[in-house]
Structure 1
């Protein structure tokens, strides 16, 4: 009997291919009767590289075209970075598995290997993320935030070609690419709260596809799923896409599930942050309650101003 083939949809960057190949290898090891192929799909976020992400508009900049291929049955499953996933999943699709999370934090890579507090006054910091820029400005209003687009390799090159003093990247991507020696500083969550789902992968499938669900079932890490779904419930209640200054990070310990959430003005002047703890079985409810607490503090006004500015 010929081996069955499963097609995995992915973006074409080196990091995306690393992630897709990791999933491919895991499937092939646990299902030796299957052949796994990759299908590289260009997304809107990959095509528009000369505009800051916040100005490109819309949610799902790095997933929409891949999700369309999944719905059209051109691929059998998709591998995304969880932090790129919009709060809402399209009808007909679902999160099939969330593998064990990698490092969730952000890292600073500075040209002269100086940590954040030693960078010169007016230092130029490159980042594609409003979340990162807002939190940097909250700590150091003197920083100049420079929009930084492109894949990981391109952004590392721009540290020198764009006369930047430092750049901020997701630690997980840097580590997955074997570039740990480039890291100047892992940024503490009190300085830089991570993006929702950062460090985790999302394996997306059709929600009425038991065959594929069974194939990837063993890749799901229940603890990571509980933690990340709580973060995503927080994001969903705030109706946020990946290009707004919203951050959240949860963890499970002896006290249960603890979730920290943040909403910040783009210039860092208004930073609203709270923490909630409760039973891990209620992680999603805790996410909603945390979002509602921030909305009561005025988070909705911050997000409304941001959305208004984005459309002007």
Structure 2
């Protein structure tokens, strides 16, 4: 009996990252009829080693992918699995996205032992986050609140909350749902807090010279609606030079036969917000999806004018 072909899957070692990598491995096994199996290879990334600093002070969100990118380029891995919102807007040369499995809940989740929502927190309460987007959106809604830097995985942030380092924090509902912990948070409506571009999406990356047999199986994991959202949302991000240095958000809403892309940029203090939206038909080509993202970015940039946060990051 022929032994299954092993595909080495690179991932971070956090519980959420391992869940996502194992989800991909199981799909590869199922879709190949057992002819291929995923072998999980874990990495501790530079981003994982930061527990107190903001990413912007240490090189940006590429810190969560750098070690995996290098291993993939060297041929030590066959594919890597990431939370797409952590992936830089431009991939490493020689690497491409092969699949975006179906998106999980894209909303932010509000966690607090004292309140069920941001509006219920007492004046002057502390909100823990290391996300400039969440900080700016929080300040826009509640300028009286104090923001404290809060980083770490799900367990770390919940422990910090229990220790009283903050009165509330945020976690992505996608991660909590994948870990079976969705009940610990109150989902925030997308209309109240627009999420990060690609929040809730897993990105599967391969080298551009992957053989056709393996590539066909990996591509079979792709979910078309999720793919279309990922292309448009990341195009918006790239057109604005979006990075973890910029309070920026984007989400593709299901409008029946159409997609509606909503994008926004905020000033660092949350006092100013510029947003725009546009439609395209479902099943649009990559060129059309990218054009939508670029057009929404152009409108936002025109609205903001000279007040647009001028941040650009080298990945």
Instruction: Classify the TM-score, shorter chain.
Output: over 0.9
Tell me what 1:82 maps to. Answer: 84
Alignment partner, residue 10 of structure 2: 9
Match 1:285 to one of 282, 286, 291: 291
Determine the C-alpha separation between the residues in 1 that align with 2:20 and 2:149.
25
Q: 2:217 — aligned with what?
A: 215
Measure how far apart 1:65 and its partner are.
1.2
In structure 2, C-alpha distance between the alignment counterparts of 1:16 and 1:125, rounded to whole Å: 25
Which structure 2 residue ranges, 5 or more long, are not aligned?
none
Cα distance change of structure 1 residues 299 and 96 upon mapping to structure 2, 3 Å threshold: farther
> For residues 194-209 of structure 1, what are the structure 2 equivalents within 5 Å?
194-209=195-210
* Alignment of structure 1 residues 103-142 onto 2, 5 Å: 103-142=105-144
**Structure 1 runs of 4+ off > 6 angstroms?**
none
How far is 1:255 from its partner?
4.6
Deviations 1:3-58 (A, max 9, x none): 22110000010110011111111111222022321111121111222312222223
Q: Which of 43, 46, 60 is equivalent to 1:44?
A: 46
Q: How does 1:164-175 map to 2 (within 5 A)?
A: 164-175=166-177
Length-normalised TM-score, structure 1: 0.93
Taking the aligned partners of 1:300 and 1:211, their CA distance within structure 2 comes to 50
2:309 counterpart of 1:303:
yes
Q: Do 2:258 and 2:279's aligned partners in 1 also have CA atoms closer than 8 Å?
A: yes
- Measured in 2, the distance between the counterparts of 1:94 and 1:155 equals 32
Match of 2:155 in 1: 153
Is the contact made by 2:301 and 2:308 (CA closer than 8 Å) also made in structure 1? Answer: no
Distance 1:267 1:256 in 2: 34
What whole-Å deviation, never above 9, does each CA across 1:137-188 have from its counterpart, x for those lacking one? 00100111111111111011111214311111111011111112211x2111
Structure 1 residue 113: Cα displacement:
4.0
> 1-side partners of 2:52 and 2:244: how far apart?
18
Aligned to 2:193: 192
**CA offset digits 1:110-138 (Å, max 9, x no partner):** 11243221110011111121101100100
TM-score using structure 2 length:
0.93
- Aligned partner of residue 220 in structure 2, secondary structure: helix
- Count of paired positions: 306
Q: Which moved more, 1:234-243 or 1:63-72?
A: 234-243
Contact 1:86 1:240 in 2 (8 A): no
Equivalent residue number for residue 53 of structure 1: 55
Gaps of 5+ in 1: none
C-alpha separation in 2, matches of 1:89 and 1:249? 21
The alignment partner of 2:64 has SS state of: coil
- What root-mean-square deviation, in Å, do the aligned CA atoms of Structure 1 and Structure 2 show? 1.6
Pick from 205, 226, 229 the counterpart of residue 228 of structure 2: 226
